[in-house]
């Protein structure tokens, strides 16, 4: 006879509800194997079933104090015993210890129920500060929210800290890769995904993310192999099905995307989601089902009346069907980036708040700033000036460090940062060196900055603000600063502020190919056209304004 023999006898007695005998046999098992915590735990369980809660807790204390302190579920059992004795303070302490010390969370749901009971009995909220079994989970949920809000820089920082502490938290690693991708850091995204697939080769989120990155990086052979593998997968879970559908759409496998989106439309929980109908319509367009696409976009319009997205595509459907207009190439539920830019280019329009907060729109901004042509990048920088949040600041600061970016665009980025209140030195890569530039300085080349110089700039800016964009406002300041730099130390006495301001606005308009006449600008400032002409000539003699350098900062000469 050994501990196993008495354990089997105890279980047999339990099956017949003979608790006295079961307790006797468990005690014998403890005698034979006093260092086995399971025997003590079984004995404590029987004592609790028999109503001897104090003896049960005593047995559990022996486990925690002398045998196996890592057997943290004992705290949960003790909390139950204390609650049964109406010792709610002690039950709360034991339960909090369980939540803070137990790494597995086996009784997490039950612990939450008990916490609600204790909160009711004690008439106050529980004192829980952390839940060890959920370490990283709450932070990960927060990071996902940040990604959904388009706050990619903040999300990436949080996800990096989670992954550092929990290297096997695959969901966090996948979302970190997405964060890098949204910010345009493709090499870091691929490296992160490889780390997931080394441990979980079948991780669908990682495989889908990797396929998108292969496409972006032009890895054709690797992409074809991976796409062939993804075509064979038929997910069961809604989340996996949606992930695969959107991925196949981005890859151009629109037939597969269409099939998966149609499956999702059969889900009762998703039938009121206008975005899903839009995705299905885009897939339908790309496989030539234009009539069905039109029906789907009309359904979007019913689900979300006044939607610009459905209105835009319905207006284009006939031309797409006739082949005179290309079908949409992206699945995002917002207007194409080019259409958004057209709207925001109107002076005084700005970026609508609902679009500025849209993570897909924000992601397209990050992408355009990193991979677009110079004209698109200029538009994005101007849009960033209108959005003006922390994410924008971080994106522009990173842009200043890119060695191959146009110096005028960096100059404009510094101007936007100054308008957002950044008043400290920032590193700026000029291609040859990295300089520290303070955006708050109007002209670091001039040893002084006179009040009347600023008055000219303020007056011109005030007149221009309502009908020009950030770029033209920046050009105006650049021209004025350049004139003063080139004239110094023989800068003229500024007595006619309106004349100088009017000349600056006129020349800035000409530099940006805007129609403007001396008479029109003179009327705006309440002066004569000859006065405007005279001051324009003085600036042009020094700067040659039509071909003037659009530069404030010395590093951009």
Percent of the chain surpassing pLDDT 70: 85
22 Cβ neighbours under 8 A, 6+ residues apart: 10, 11, 13, 14, 46
CA distance 107 to 101: 12
Q: DSSP secondary-structure letter at 421?
A: T
Query: Maximum CA pair distance of the chain?
Result: 117
Residue 66 pLDDT greater than 50, yes or no: yes
Rg (CA), the chain: 34
Give tens-digit pLDDT for 471-482: 787 888 888 888
Average pLDDT over residues 194-199: 91
Residue 272 pLDDT greater than 70, yes or no: yes
pLDDT at 538: 87
pLDDT at 547: 42
Q: Which helix (H) or strand (E) element contains residue 126?
A: none
Q: Quickly list DSSP for 381-413.
A: HHHHHHH-SHHHHHHHHHHHT-TTS-HHHHHHH
380 Cβ neighbours under 8 A, 6+ residues apart: 365, 368, 369, 372
Give tens-digit pLDDT for 77-124: 999 999 999 898 898 888 888 888 877 777 878 888 888 888 878 777
Instruction: Write phi, then psi, for 361 (nearest 5 degrees).
Output: -65, -45
305 Cβ neighbours under 8 A, 6+ residues apart: none
Average pLDDT over residues 350-362: 57
pLDDT at 480: 83
pLDDT at 226: 93
Check if the beta carbon of residue 400 is closer than 8 Å to that of residue 410. Answer: yes
Residue 551 pLDDT greater than 50, yes or no: no
CA distance 244 to 260: 8
**Is 554 or 239 the better-scoring residue by pLDDT?**
239
Q: Which helix (H) or strand (E) element contains residue 428?
A: strand 426-429
Check if the beta carbon of residue 453 is closer than 8 Å to that of residue 484. Answer: yes
Burial of 63 (C-beta count, 10 Å sphere; 0-12/13-18/19+): buried
Apex 419 CA angle, 470 and 497, nearest 5 = 75
Residue 550 pLDDT greater than 60, yes or no: no
CA distance 189 to 129: 33
Of the candidates 394, 390, 403, 371, the residue with the CA atom closest to the CA atom of residue 186: 371
CA distance 205 to 354: 28
Q: Could you give the count of Cα atoms lying within 13 Å of 14 in the half-sphere of its Cβ?
A: 17
Most confident among 18-22, 186-190, 424-428, 539-543 (mean pLDDT): 186-190
pLDDT at 259: 93
Residue 225 pLDDT greater than 90, yes or no: yes
pLDDT at 70: 86
**Domains parsed from the chain with CATH numbers:** 3-134 (1.25.40.10), 138-322 (1.25.40.10), 347-437 (1.25.10), 451-556 (1.10.472.10)
pLDDT at 381: 80
pLDDT at 185: 82
User: With bands split at pLDDT 50, 70 and 90, how would you rate the model's confidence at 26?
Assistant: confident
pTM of the shown model: 0.52
User: With bands split at pLDDT 50, 70 and 90, how would you rate the model's confidence at 131?
Assistant: low
Average confidence score pLDDT of the chain? 80
């Amino acid at each position: 006879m050994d501990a196993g023999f008495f354990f089997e006898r105890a279980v047999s007695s339990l099956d017949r509800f003979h608790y006295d005998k079961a307790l006797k046999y468990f005690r014998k098992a403890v005698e034979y194997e006093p260092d086995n915590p399971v025997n003590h735990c079984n004995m404590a369980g029987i004592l609790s079933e028999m109503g001897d809660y104090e003896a049960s807790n005593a047995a559990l204390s022996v486990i925690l104090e002398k045998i196996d302190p890592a057997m943290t579920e004992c705290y949960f059992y003790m909390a139950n015993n204390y609650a049964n004795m109406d010792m709610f303070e002690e039950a709360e302490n034991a339960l909090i210890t369980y939540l803070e010390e137990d790494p597995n969370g086996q009784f997490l749901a039950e612990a939450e129920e008990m916490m609600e009971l204790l909160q009711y009995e004690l008439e106050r909220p529980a004192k829980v500060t952390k839940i060890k079994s959920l370490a990283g989970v709450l932070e990960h949920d927060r990071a996902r929210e940040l990604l959904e809000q388009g706050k990619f820089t903040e999300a990436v920082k949080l996800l990096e800290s989670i992954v550092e502490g929990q290297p096997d938290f695959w969901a966090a690693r996948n979302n970190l890769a997405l964060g890098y991708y949204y910010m345009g850091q493709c090499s870091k995204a691929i490296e992160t995904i490889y780390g997931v697939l080394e441990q979980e080769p079948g991780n669908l989120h990682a495989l889908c993310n990797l396929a998108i990155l292969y496409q972006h990086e032009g890895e054709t052979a690797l992409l074809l192999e991976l796409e062939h593998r993804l075509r064979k997968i038929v997910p069961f879970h809604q989340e996996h099905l949606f992930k695969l559908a959107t991925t196949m759409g981005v890859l151009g496998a629109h037939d597969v995307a269409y099939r998966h989106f149609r499956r999702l439309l059969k889900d009762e929980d998703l039938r009121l989601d206008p975005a899903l109908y839009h995705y299905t319509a885009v897939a339908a367009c790309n496989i030539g089902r234009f009539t069905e696409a039109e029906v789907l976009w009309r359904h979007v319009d019913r689900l979300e009346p006044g939607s610009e997205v459905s209105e835009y595509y319905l207006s284009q459907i006939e031309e797409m069907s006739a082949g005179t207009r290309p079908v949409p190439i992206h699945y995002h539920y917002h207007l194409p980036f080019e259409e958004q830019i057209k709207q925001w280019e109107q002076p005084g329009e700005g970026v609508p708040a609902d679009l500025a907060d849209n993570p897909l729109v924000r992601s397209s901004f990050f992408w355009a700033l990193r991979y677009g042509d110079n004209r698109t990048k200029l538009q994005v920088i101007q849009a960033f000036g209108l959005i003006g949040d922390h994410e924008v600041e971080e994106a522009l600061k990173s842009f200043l460090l890119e060695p191959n970016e146009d110096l005028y665009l960096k100059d404009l980025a510094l101007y936007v940062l100054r308008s957002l209140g950044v008043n400290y030195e920032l590193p700026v890569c000029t291609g040859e060196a990295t300089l520290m530039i303070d955006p708050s300085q109007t002209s670091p080349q001039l040893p002084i900055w006179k009040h009347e110089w600023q008055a000219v700039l303020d007056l011109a800016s005030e007149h221009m603000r309502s009908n020009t964009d950030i770029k033209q406002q920046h050009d105006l300041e650049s021209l004025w600063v350049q004139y003063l730099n080139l004239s110094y130390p023989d800068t003229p006495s500024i007595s006619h502020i309106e004349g100088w301001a009017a000349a600056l606005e006129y020349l800035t308009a000409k530099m940006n190919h805007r129609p403007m006449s001396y008479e029109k600008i003179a009327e705006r400032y309440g002066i004569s056209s000859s006065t405007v002409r005279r001051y324009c000539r003085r600036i042009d003699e020094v700067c040659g304004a039509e071909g003037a350098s659009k530069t404030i900062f010395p590093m951009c000469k």
